[in-house]
Amino acid sequence: MYAIVEIAGQQFKVEKKQEIFVHRLEGKEGSKVEFSDVMLIDNNGKVNVGTPVIKGAVVSAKILEHIKGDKVLVFKKKRRKGYQKLNGHRQYMSRILIENILEKAPKAAAPKAEKKEEKPASAKATADKSEAKPKAAAKPKATAKPKAEKPAAKKSASTKAAADKPAAKKPAAKKAAPKAAAKPAAKKAAPKTEAKKTATKKETKPDDKKSADDK
């Protein structure tokens, strides 16, 4: 029996009691790990292929140790430029042991106990809601008092507005009176200019007669 599993971004063909090296895993040494991304399982000729993963299938393993891989040399060079560089790299790895391959993993019983504990909590919540309802019904009595005070505030505002309106009209009537008195003054000034014109005409007449005698 074997399975094809995805572990830390890589796919491996694994069997029971097989040791493999994978990319560094987060667990501590000696801890158990489960992988649910199972692509294929072959059980004595019966092949089960996932789309893309087999639902319920699990591969369990144990972390034996965390190690570093062999050193890899990375050499770079550019000819005729005098450039060359050498770096070394060691990949972090984990050595794991495959313990079991299951097509259908058993469901955990822990969630059932949690559901039973939630029921009493919901009963308490309903009891709290029933106690809160009478308090909410008592609130409208306290809110009835401020409603009677609101009309009084509106009346005071309307009386202030009525008192301000007549005061604004009286200054407008006083300002209009001086404008009417200014118009007759302009008319009286007109006869003075006419009197000056008649005086100039009378003065010009004797001069015309003297000029005729001289001729």
Model confidence over 93-115: pLDDT tens digits?
999 999 999 988 777 554 454 55
Answer whether residue 184 shows pLDDT above 80: no
Among residues 83, 82, 60, the alpha carbon closest in space to that of 14 is found at 60
Q: For residue 104, what pLDDT is reported?
A: 86
In the chain, where are the structural domains located? 2-75+86-105
- Mean pLDDT of the 127-139 span: 56
Q: Are 73 and 88 in contact (CB under 8 A)?
A: yes
Q: For residue 106, what pLDDT is reported?
A: 78
pLDDT-derived band at 16 (thresholds 50, 70, 90) equals: very high
Q: Is 107 helix (H, G, I), strand (E, B) or coil?
A: coil
How, if at all, do strands 38-43 and 2-7 pair?
antiparallel
Q: For residue 185, what pLDDT is reported?
A: 47
